[in-house]
Amino acid sequence: MNKTQKLVLAALLTALVTVATIAFQVPVPATKGYINLGDTVIFLAALLLGPRYGAIAGGVGSALADLLSPYAAWAPFTLVIKGLEGFIVGYVLYRLASAKGSTVSRIAAMALGGLWMAAGYFTVEIFLYGLPAALVELPGNLFQALGSAALALPVAEVLVRVKVIKNQNN
C-alpha cells in the first residue's frame, strides 16, 4: 500500500471512528458519559496501519465525535487518551511484538491500548467527578475496550487474509 492509499484509508477510518462513536452509544448515568463502538475502529486503524495512523484516527476521530456532541468539553482529554490508545496498539504490534502479525500479538496490543484508555479516562474522571464516580465508569470503559477488541480482531483477520489490506507487519 503506497502512502497516498494509506493516507486515504486513515482519513476514512478517522471519519468512521467519529461515526461509530456517535451512532452507537450506551449512556452511563453516574458520569453522564457513554459506552461506544469507536474503539473498534481505533483498533482496526492501529492494527492495519500502525501507530501513527492509529493515533490520528483514534485521537482526531474521537475528539471530533466529542465536538459534534454534548461532550465538547471532553475533546482535549479524548484527543490525548484515544490518540495514545491508537498509538499504543500500533506500536506494540509493529515495533515490540516478537510474533508480528499473529493473533496473540494483536490481542496483546489491543489489551494494552484498551487498558490505557480505561486508565486515562479513570484518571480524568477522578479529577472531574471524584473517585466514586470514576470507579462506577471504570467497568464500562473496560467493557468497551474488551467488546471493541472482540469486534476488531476478526475484522482485521479477514481483511488481512483476503488481502484487502496488506499485512504491514513485515
Q: Is the pLDDT of residue 31 over 80?
A: no
- Rounded to whole angstroms, how far apart are CA atoms 163 and 166? 6
The CATH number of the domain where 8 resides is what? 1.10.1760.20
170 is a domain residue: no
Q: Is the pLDDT of residue 30 over 50?
A: yes
Number of domains in the chain: 1
DSSP structure string for 18-80: HHHHHHSEEEETTTTEEEESHHHHHHHHHHHH-HHHHHHHHHHHHHHHHHTSTTGGGHHHHHH
Q: 50 has which bridge partners?
A: none
131 is a domain residue: yes
Q: 36 has which bridge partners?
A: 25
168 is a domain residue: no
Q: Range of 113's domain?
A: 3-28+35-161
Q: Is the pLDDT of residue 130 over 60?
A: yes
pLDDT at 80: 98
Instruction: Report pLDDT digits (tens) over 40-69.
Output: 999 999 998 999 999 999 999 999 999 999
